Amino acid sequence: MKRLKAIVHGRVQGVGFRVFVLRHAQALGLTGTVRNVYSPTRHVEVIAEGPEDKLKQLLAQLKIGPSMSWVERVEVEWSEPTGEFSYFSIV
């Protein structure tokens, strides 16, 4: 089990990115959150916990995004899971 924190930069707000992440994370059985962040730049923050192989599958999808998005870059941080989440949600 691992924890993934990903900051997704580009055109990722107003294009259904959070719902895209929610659907993929739920399909993979991951727990965590996805949210828009507006300061200092507009980006999406994803925190997910689960098996490392499933997190890597989610990360691959984050680099693609939904059809209306444009992903410039993804900052990635790996750590040990905290177990604080019981499901995956948009916050």
pTM of the model: 0.96
Full pLDDT tens readout for the chain, 91 residues: 999 999 999 999 999 999 999 999 999 999 999 999 998 889 999 999 999 999 999 999 999 999 999 999 999 999 999 999 999 999 9
Query: φ, ψ for residue 76 (rounded to 5)?
Result: -125, 135
> What is the model's pLDDT at position 30?
98
Strands (E), the chain: 2-11, 31-37, 43-50, 70-79, 88-90
* All structural domains of the chain: 2-80 (3.30.70.100)
As annotated, the active-site residues are 18, 36
Locate all alpha helices (DSSP H) within 1-91, ordered by sequence.
17-27, 52-62
Q: Are 58 and 25 in contact (CB under 8 A)?
A: yes
